Chain A
Amino acid sequence: MVNGYAPQTLREALEIKRKEQVSPYGGGTDLMVDHHRTGTYLFLHRIAEMQEIKQDDNYLRLGAGCTFTEVQEHALTPPILKEAISRIAAPAIRNLGTIGGNIGNGSAKADSVLVFFALDAKLRLMDADGERIVPIHAFYKGRKALDLALDELIVEILLPRVIPTRYVYHKIGARAALAISRLSFAGLWNVEGGKITACSTAFGAIDQVVVRIPEVDKILIGTPVAELDSVKERYLAAAGEAINPIDGRISAHYRKTVCLNLLDDFVETMKKA
Chain B
Amino acid sequence: MSIPFTLNGKPAAYEGSATDRLVDILRKDFKCPGVKVGCNEGECGACSIIMDGVLINACMVAAGRAYDTEIITIEGFRETEKFAVLDRCFAETGAVQCGFCTPGMILAAECILTKNPNPNEAEIRDGLSGNMCRCTGYNAIVHAVALAAKEGKGLW
Contact = CB atoms under 8 A, between A and B. Distances in A.
Answer yes or no: do A and B interact.
yes
Interface of A: 1-6, 25, 27-29, 31-33, 35, 37-41, 43, 45-46, 69, 89-93, 95-96, 177-178
A3 B17 contact: yes
A39 B19 contact: yes
Interface of B: 1-3, 15-21, 41-43, 45, 48, 51, 54-57, 59-65, 67-69, 108, 111, 126-127, 129-131
Contact of A41 (B18, B69, B129): B18
Contacts of A45: 65, 67, 69
A90 B60 CA distance: 13
Contacts, number: 113
A92 B57 contact: yes
Contacts of B19: 3-4, 35, 37-41
A177 B64 CA distance: 28
Q: Chain A interface secondary structure, helix, strand, loop or mixed? A: loop
B17 A2 contact: yes
B62 A32 contact: yes
B23 to A, nearest CB: 10
A113 B94 CA distance: 42
A43 B64 contact: yes
A141 to B, nearest CB: 28
Contacts of A38: 19
Contacts of A35: 19, 21, 62
A69 B111 CA distance: 13
